[in-house]
Chains A and B, each alone.
Chain A
Amino acid sequence: MNGTHPMGVRMKIVGAGMLLTVVACHAQVTFDRIVNAAKEPQNWLTYSGDYSGKRFSRLDQINATNVSTLTAKWVYQTAATGKLETTPLVVDGILYATAQDNRAFALDARMGRPIWMYQRQIPSDIRPCCGRVNRGMAILGDKVFLGTLDAHVIALDAKTGAVIWDVAAADYKIGHSFTVAPLAVKNLIVIGVSGGEYGVRGFIDAYDADTGARKWRFWTVPGPGEPGHDTWEGDSWKVGGAPAWNTGTFDPTTNQIFWPTGNPSPSNRGEGRAGDNLYSNSLLALNADTGKLNWYFQFTKHDEHDWDATQVPVMVDAGGKHLIAQADRNGFFYIVDRTNGKLISATPYGKQTWSDSKDADGRPTANKNAAPTLEGHTVCPGALGTTNFMAPAYNPQTGLFYVTARDQCDIFSTAPQPYEAGHAYYGSAYFPSEEARPYLGFLKAIDPQTGEIKEKFQHVSPTWSGVLSTAGGLVFSGDAEGNFIAFDAKSLKPLWHFQMGGAVYAAPIAFAVDGKEYVAIAAGSALFAFALP
């Protein structure tokens, strides 16, 4: 109980893992296996490790006492350029991941040797915002699933990489794309669209995993006659944005999918779209079978700062309550009751100047100095946000929520801009504010009960790395200078680091093969795996 027999506990878990490896080898990934992902910690079955979004691994072979001996086991070069944002999946010794420019591949997870590679031709006239990135796949049955930059959803044979089905979800020519890792729920592949920079009308889709037939679509901008439609001025809803480009979570006990949405379009101009602009920058609770909305919570109303709420909504249970913890791009850490969407608390976890009051529900409200101007003026956080898409982690053993955070302020300017299909639609832009330099980057540990920042580690510069926490008393994250770092989960003191030679835009995972634990992360153009000697 007090840690006097840590070795015994570790042996038990790794031993169980080995048993499962043998039993489950070549078995299909069923929905039940993903629901019970905690029972097979040697595998990483979905984007956040399990449906709750905690990005917590129960493996503890690598722990605070031995992590200083961690060594690189293999490196896989993807040949992709730009930002490698992928979170790999691992099932029974095989690792599945994606890379830029519509790439996907499967590797021997012990050796890094490729088993198959897939790449879909990109149309020459594609111009996805923010890099030709992809954040990963979903796995279900004997198939893996990915979204593409030209807005297709594709099922591949997990053993060969051969295309099983290929569905065009939307027209890439007017700005739709997929960068998100889909979520497999029951027999559905759930995926949210990108394109808030082009004035798309956002949606979340669910496809039949066997056939690719679309089972439901939830429009994140309500059409005429639907509730919330009156939160848009005139026809602005048609190009209202609210994309859904980060992977949500799923609660099997209530059959609800929690999925976050992004900025209204145009991102830096509120004129012409008066109103709250539902369901932009919101957390949506959708019925998994029908895609019908159970409830929503909007973090930033009528956003003019590009503060997408596209962070992983982490399911946390505390004090007998079933909660969602979300560290939002707007600088506040929110706790929402996931049974009804009611706000419980909102606490700043980084530098912010846009809000100094709260409404009757406790939601931070914008002050009069927050709106962008023609000449531009400084608001904190900047457009990149206090955090962004980088995955957070929650460790049930320490009770702490870990998130990558940035203190940076930007000068927000705005100018009228007509909508033109397929063209960037920002309503002007933002510029880093010189007065706010240097920009600071942190790993922060937050107590979700109070919103208090318990510990923090300051990076040399802000990072885009996600976070993993493990039962070994560790937190793993990367930095913009190319380091992969293991921290003590309580003190956030760095215990080990490795220079990978390229900036990190991805989140780490942990898995085990033949009883040996690995941690893996993408950096630069490559995927790295580490284990004890």
Chain B
Amino acid sequence: MRKAEVSLEASSVFRAAAAFLFMIGLCAAQDRNPFAGDSKAAKAGEYEFRINCALCHGLGAHGGGRGPDLTRAQKKHTHNDAEMFQTISNGIPGTAMPANGTNGQGVGMTDEEIWQIITYIRSQEVKSAGTSSGNATHGKELFYGDANCSMCHMVDGKGGRLGPELSGVGGSRTREALIDSVREPNRRLAWGLTESTKEFPQEYESVTAVTADGKTIRGVTLNEDSFTVQIMDSNERIHLLEKDKLKSFQKTRESAMPKYDADVLSDKDLEDIVAFLISAGAK
């Protein structure tokens, strides 16, 4: 009886000490993942990921239209678990990545749940993904030269403004997504931000506006509402227009980007351009 009591006491002291140590672990949570390598935590993280992250980052963390592929070991904004914790908690300014609990869709996550998600993402990482067999030096020549990419796209401050800026795209999109958007630019117009994270709806839709005095303006929308439209034309001039003062206004879901099929740009040359974008994005 007495022995049992003693052992009970000892065990509760031990439990209290263990709980205390765990609390310290959680207090220091900003630095270290308490669940690193724990497969049960990774499973719990998968539920949370589906609810909170998959909307942009895709099921299995393979990347969606908006969010980067997180199965790549190299990540642009985070180099370790502690940084990833900060990124998930606070979002990334200037991008569509919202702070925890502010995307208006999912429910905010506890610190514990964020660590579970990080554990899940780590369990999904594929070390070799995101590389290209292409020749980045040749790809760079093509990008700024014969392939005419830089007429509309900018990388590292050099190039045009009509299409999306591509300095970081190789760091956030998969090789397959990059190839697809060159071969089939209409398949998926760049995703604007939607719903509560919507700040800027730019989708690079092609527009043609005819002004009251008969002038035709062709370009892409910078922004639009029911009554006004802001257009950049092919000479990078910005036009600020009121729709009810226009003779006509037409918008298509065709991308302003020409379709590069294999007889315009060979598979090998495209692979080289992709290699250039991935090397630029890794910076």
Contacts and interface: CB of A to CB of B under 8 A. Distances in A.
Interface in B46-79: 46-48, 50-52, 54-55, 58-59, 64-65
B105 interface: yes
B198 A480 contact: yes
Nearest to B205: A438
B47 A479 contact: no
Nearest to A416: B47
Most chain B beta carbons < 10 A, residue from A128, A434, A460 = A460
Given A424-B51, A428-B50, A434-B65, A127 B108 contact: yes
Interface string B163-205: 0000000000000000000000000110000111010010100
B107 interface: yes
A460 B188 contact: no
B109 interface: yes
B225 interface: yes
A36 B237 CA distance: 59
B115 to A, nearest CB: 14
B48 A424 contact: yes
Interface stretch (A201-209, A276-284, A481-489, A511-519): A481-489
B221 to A, nearest CB: 10
Contacts of B196: 82-83, 131, 503
B113 interface: yes
B55 A431 contact: yes
A497 B244 CA distance: 13
Interface string A103-135: 000000000000000000000010111110000
Nearest to A499: B225
A73 B188 CA distance: 43
A439 to B, nearest CB: 8
A93 interface: no
Contacts of B106: 129, 424, 429
A115 B106 CA distance: 36
Nearest to A503: B198
A376 interface: yes
A198 interface: yes
A199 to B, nearest CB: 11
A428 B52 CA distance: 10
Interface in B106-154: 106-110, 113
Given A130-B104, A198-B107, A434-B188, A481 B226 contact: yes
A197 B189 CA distance: 32
A357 to B, nearest CB: 31
A127 B65 contact: no
A423 interface: yes
Nearest to A485: B226
A417 interface: yes
B253 A438 contact: yes
Interface in A424-452: 424, 426, 428-432, 434, 437-439
Contacts of A460: 201, 224-226
Contacts of B109: 127, 424
Interface string B36-51: 0000000000111011
Contacts of A70: none
Given A127-B101, A429-B54, A434-B65, A197 B59 contact: no
Nearest to A431: B55
Nearest to B49: A429
A415 interface: yes
B102 interface: yes
The SS class assigned to the A binding surface is loop
Interface in A127-167: 127-131
A459 interface: yes
B50 A131 contact: no
A417 B108 contact: no
Contact of B227 (A130, A197, A429, A497): A497
Contact of A482 (B110, B194, B225): B225
B225 to A, nearest CB: 4
A483 B107 contact: no
A246 interface: no
A122 to B, nearest CB: 12
A125 to B, nearest CB: 8
A440 B157 CA distance: 36
A129 B107 contact: yes
A482 B46 CA distance: 36
B176 to A, nearest CB: 15
A183 to B, nearest CB: 25
Interface in A357-390: 375-376, 384
B47 A417 contact: yes
A223 interface: no
A488 to B, nearest CB: 15
Contacts of A499: 225
A432 B110 CA distance: 25
A461 interface: yes
A430 B58 CA distance: 10
A469 interface: no
A413 interface: yes
Interface of A: 82-83, 125, 127-131, 197-198, 375-376, 384, 413, 415, 417, 423-424, 426, 428-432, 434, 437-439, 459-461, 479-483, 485, 494, 497, 499, 503
26 contacts: A83-B104, A125-B110, A127-B109, A131-B102, A375-B59, A384-B195, A413-B59, A415-B46, A423-B110, A424-B51, A429-B50, A429-B51, A429-B55, A431-B59, A431-B64, A437-B189, A438-B203, A460-B226, A461-B194, A480-B198, A481-B225, A483-B226, A483-B227, A485-B226, A494-B226, A503-B196
Q: Which 5 A-B pairs have the closest CB atoms?
A: A481-B225, A127-B108, A424-B107, A129-B107, A429-B50
Given A413-B59, A481-B226, 17 more contacts: A82-B102, A82-B196, A83-B104, A129-B106, A129-B107, A130-B104, A130-B107, A376-B59, A415-B47, A424-B51, A429-B54, A431-B54, A460-B225, A461-B194, A485-B226, A499-B225, A503-B198
Interface of B: 46-48, 50-52, 54-55, 58-59, 64-65, 101-102, 104-110, 113, 188-189, 194-196, 198, 201, 203, 224-227, 253
